[in-house]
Every structure is written in structure tokens, then in C-alpha cells.
Amino acid sequence: MITREELADVLDHPVYDGDGNKIGDAKHIFFDDMTGRPEWVSVKTGMFGSHESFVPIRDASLVEDHIEVPYRKDQVKDAPHVDVDAGGHLSESEEHRLYDYYGINWDSVLSEAERTDDGRWAAGPGTAGTAGMAGAAGTAGTTGRQDAADRGGMRGDDAMTRSEERMHVGVERHEAGRARLRKYVVTEEVQQTVPVRHEEVRVEREPITDANRDQALSGPEISEAEHEVTLHEERPVVETETVPVERVRMTTEEHIEDETVRGQVRKERIEAETEGMTEEDIRRNRE
């Protein structure tokens, strides 16, 4: 059990489950109006702490720099959503719903409310009423925000602490798509002009001269003869060969873009109220 002296070290500290998984950060302590004992702690969960879950604090313990509760992380995150009224109270039906969800017997809660412990809580007898949001211990029905003992309330130096929420925006990396290189074969027509040669028959005639007369008269005077000539031609021959032409690979490059993130944060305001002051006096004090 967390003692009253340890309450100041509870808020804004991490909350872990029994397996060492971080659930979120503790934001508010809820006290029972009848006994003054702390009953619930609200935990900011989800991305950027956008969700607030309620966890019983009766079996929680302060371990070094964090709070440890005997409930699983997913169980806490899926706890019933509860809207706290403007006075900072949980209704009895809402408490019933939370107790049922965490498997806590309502009769045992009433029995504990009728007992007093060693005096640390100064609890009086009675049944467990609605839990006020960090209400003052030992006062029935009081409401108001007290983030821990005296935190956010009036201190011994008559000063009041004003708090506000700050929005912290982070980024997470996730898979956006896939790209791959695929090689396949296509056939295309290629045209190329190449010169080819062929032989044709040409008949040449020459007159009888003194130079060729002897050759011309060497044969019979009248006869039949035949002479054959072989003709040649060139034809194009096509061959293919495979040669490497380039290397292709895939790389990634990062591009940075600005994206606007909107959220809601709560701020506390402090105003002084004095009985008997005129509206003009109040306006000047606000300025």
C-alpha cells in the first residue's frame, strides 16, 4: 500500500504492471469521501497520453521511481471510460462498474470502509462513498483537485500552485509500402542495313586483232563448244550474343515534410474573489 507520505511521489510518475510493462503516467489521485483513503489513480495511456484509465490504488506500491499495480497493461488500457463530473467525483454506479471490471468485491470495499487502520488516514467509520478527485483526507463529501498531499492546494506559505498541461509531440516509424526490382524478358524488332555482294554474268566481245589472231584460229573452223562460269553471292547471317549493359539497384532517401498536429491541453487559472468588492475592483485585480 502507498502511504500518505509517498503520495507526493506518485503523480506524473510512470505506472508499470507486474510484468514490467509501462502503462502510462499517473495524473490524479481519487480519495474516498467517507474514509479519506486513496481509492483510485488515473493513468494517462495511449499515444501522447490521449486516454485516461482508472486503476485501484489499494494494492499498488511505489518501487524506486515508478508505481507498480497488480493488473496487466492491456487490462488497464481497456478499463471502462469514466467521465468525472465538474466537482471531481466518481458516481457510485461508476465505482461499481470499475470494481466489477477489476474483479473487486463491493462488499469487501464496504467492510474496509468500516475499519480504521493505524491512524495514517484518520478514517472515520462508515460506508465507502463516492471518491472525490484527490479530496482532503478525513472529510466527507469534499471535492477538489489535489494532485498529491497539498499539491495544487494552499500551502503553509499561503501560495497556490497553478499547473497546466504541455503537449509533447513525437513521431513513430511504421511501414508505408514496399518496392521491388523485377527483371523480365521482352522481344523487339531490330533493323540494320548491311551491304551484300553477288556475281552476275557479263558477256564481253572483242574484235580480232593481230594480238589475238593466233588464239582465235587455234581451234576448228566450225564447231560447237560450251563454257560454264560459277556465280557467287553474299547473304546476311544473323547471330546474337548476350552482353551486360548496366547495373540496377534500389536505394531509399528520406524527405522531410512539416505536418501540423493539433491537440487539447488543460490549464488552471487562479482568480481572487473578495466579498464586497465591486465589479470594477474585480476587473482591475484580473488585469
> Residue 97 has what pLDDT?
87
Q: Which residues of the chain have pLDDT under 70?
A: 1, 46-50, 84-88, 107-157, 274, 276-287
**Cα(96)–Cα(107) distance, rounded to whole angstroms?**
11
> Residue 41 has what pLDDT?
87
> Residue 215 has what pLDDT?
84
**Cα(33)–Cα(131) distance, rounded to whole angstroms?**
6
> Residue 87 has what pLDDT?
57
> Residue 29 has what pLDDT?
85
> Residue 180 has what pLDDT?
92
At 113, list the grid cell: 470502509
* pLDDT tens digits, 88-139: 677 888 888 888 898 888 766 666 655 444 433 333 333 333 333 333 333 3
Give backbone dihedrals phi and psi of 282, rounded to 5 degrees, phi first: -65, -40
**Cα(76)–Cα(229) distance, rounded to whole angstroms?**
106
Residue closest to 53 by CA, chosen among 20, 79, 22, 75: 79
Contact yes or no for 33/130 (Cβ under 8 A): yes
Residue closest to 28 by CA, chosen among 142, 179, 135: 135
Placement of cell 498536429 in the chain: 261
pTM of the full structure: 0.40
> Residue 189 has what pLDDT?
92
- CATH code, 4-152: 3.90.50.10
> Residue 113 has what pLDDT?
54
